[in-house]
Amino acid sequence: MDRCYPIAIVFRELLHDTNSMLRRLQMLAECRDVHGVYRHERLEQVLADEVNGACGIAHNLIWSDWARFSLEQQRIDLIEYLRGFPKPSETLLAFNSETPMFQ
């Protein structure tokens, strides 16, 4: 199987609902079991034994992309990520907009 194909499936089946890189990292991290192995029922139906490797590569790619973001891009992504949480994130967003370091 083409090496890129399983990674594309991970994005199509699992990560397509969000543009936030931090949210994608969280979604992948939530797929890890106590032994650090990626498990996801829908992906296992399509990829069988390739789930762990494909998710691991996707995780590394997303992290590498996020780490290369400028601080401004990281800040924007963090705000987008926090918008996915209930009320407590409003406090963080308010703090963020009032803090000189983030302006």
**pLDDT exceeds cutoff 80 at 97:** no
pLDDT tens string 16-67: 888 899 999 999 999 999 999 999 998 888 898 899 999 999 999 999 999 9
Q: Greater confidence, 96 or 81?
A: 81
Which is nearest to 14 in space by CA: 2, 34, 31?
A: 31
For the record, the structure tokens of 26 come out as 């969280």
Which is nearest to 14 in space by CA: 4, 24, 29?
A: 24
Instruction: Report pTM.
Output: 0.78
Q: Greater confidence, 67 or 101?
A: 67
User: CB-based contacts of 8: which residues, under 8 Å, 6+ apart?
Assistant: none
The reported pLDDT for the residue numbered 79 is 86
- Going from the C-alpha of 75 to that of each of 12, 15, 18, 41, 81, the distances in angstroms are 26, 20, 16, 33, 10
* Mean pLDDT along residues 66-88: 87
